[in-house]
Amino acid sequence: MAPSTYYAARSRPPSEWQRRDEQLKAEILRLWHDNFEVYGVRKMWKALNRHGVRVARCTVARLMRRLGLSGAVRGEHKRRTTIIEPLTPRPADLVERDFAAPAPNRLWVSDLTYIPTWSGFVYAAFVIDVYSRMIVGWRLTDHLRTDLPLDALEMAIWRRGSRVEALDGLVHHSDRGCQYLSIRYTERLADIGAVSSVGSRGDSYDNALAETTIGLYKTELIHRRGPWKGLDDVEIATMEWVDWYNNRRLHSACHDMPPTEYEALYQTKINPATLTPAR
């Protein structure tokens, strides 16, 4: 290449295509940082379109590769927090692995997980509304006593049970952990008119939706932001993540909407499936 050709190319102003790429890269970086740095190509493409930036998915993939950005990838978490009491009577499995609900407050799922910290293990309990995937209750402590999931349940009741009849007939599903089969926990469910359901086969598929949510929590927050100092450290970060998860994170099960937006559509009687998807 002749020197004059090289320097002419260097001095040439950016093309419209190049300027567009630079604008898109800035927007991709902003959205990636605003969403816990976990979005891959598909969710980034959806997020851009929701923000009024019309762009092809292949363009998003190309620019994310150029920026060195990738989505969070879930791994395996083998440590178990379920303590099974084989002699304790347990309710029937009313869900039978069919994690679907026609409306909010019809089916909740609950589960526990653990977080290693420099101060020892921290344990987290979550309650999720199956209709919208919204986390309606959560709690962190340094023990696995019944108080842990019970406090998460109390938060869910406080948030969702504003009317006496709001939770009547609710199905609450969990695994066979002793905390969920305890007298205190089952009596509290009965107090609000909820029906208890427990997985019958004793494997992770019995409570797959709750385990999926916890998998996202571990992948999107715990493993990406650690190591953690202790309970307070994890609790503040979890509060921020739950707020993002409920109000801004796009969920494929909710037609790529945040849970709060998906539930708001239910209240207006608009079928989310009829909305025009982003292209």
- The CATH number of the domain holding residue 214 is 3.30.420.10
22 and 143 part of one domain: no
Q: Which tokens hold the place of 268? A: 């207006």
Asked whether residue 231 is assigned to any structural domain, the reply reads yes
Share of the chain above pLDDT 70, in %: 84
Residue with tokens 């791994």, as numbered in its chain? 75
Inter-axis angle of helices 16-34 and 41-50, nearest 10 = 100
| Inside any domain, residue 77 | no
3-state SS class at 236: helix
Q: What is the mean pLDDT of residues 139-150?
A: 97
Q: Answer yes or no: is 80 within a domain.
A: no
Same domain, 118 and 226: yes
State phi, psi for 125 to the nearest 5 degrees.
Answer: -120, 140
Whole-number Å distance between alpha carbons of 127 and 243: 14
Same domain, 129 and 232: yes
Q: Please provide the average confidence, as pLDDT, over all residues in the chain.
A: 89
Query: Does residue 152 fall inside a structural domain?
Result: yes
Residue 152 and residue 38 share a domain: no
Would residue 92 count as lying in a domain? Answer: no
193 vs 177: CA distance, rounded Å: 21
pLDDT of residue 176: 86
- Give the pLDDT confidence of 188-222 residue by residue, as tens digits: 999 999 999 998 766 668 899 999 999 999 999 99
Do 183 and 242 lie in one domain? The reply is: yes
Contact present, 242 and 155 (Cβ < 8 Å): no
Helix (H, G, I), strand (E, B) or coil at 160: helix
Res. 12 pLDDT band, cuts 50 70 90:
low
Going from the C-alpha of 9 to that of each of 5, 15, 163, 215, 247, the distances in angstroms are: 6, 11, 69, 49, 47
Q: Do the domain assignments include residue 174? A: yes
Q: Are 170 and 58 in the same domain?
A: no
Q: How do residues 84-133 score in pLDDT, each as one tens digit?
A: 555 567 788 899 889 999 999 999 999 999 999 999 999 999 999 999 99
Beta-bridge partner residues of 173: 109, 197
Q: Are residues 35 and 114 in the same domain?
A: no
Report if residue 84 sits inside a domain: no
Residues 168 and 41 in one domain: no
Mean pLDDT of 66-78: 80
- Rounded CA separation 241/234 (Å): 10
Do 119 and 34 lie in one domain? The reply is no
| Model confidence, pTM | 0.86
In this structure, are 134 and 242 located in the same domain? yes
What does the pLDDT read at residue 17? Answer: 87
State the total domains in the chain: 2
* Domain final residue, candidates 6, 37, 67: 67
Q: Are residues 236 and 130 in the same domain?
A: yes
d(CA 200, CA 177): 12
Q: Specify if 253 maps to a domain.
A: yes
- In a shared domain, residues 61 and 111: no
Q: What is the residue range of 199's domain?
A: 107-270
- Tokens 């086969």, residue? 201
For 20-60, write each residue's pLDDT tens digit: 999 999 999 999 999 999 999 999 999 999 999 999 999 99
Placement of tokens 């019970």 in the chain: 150
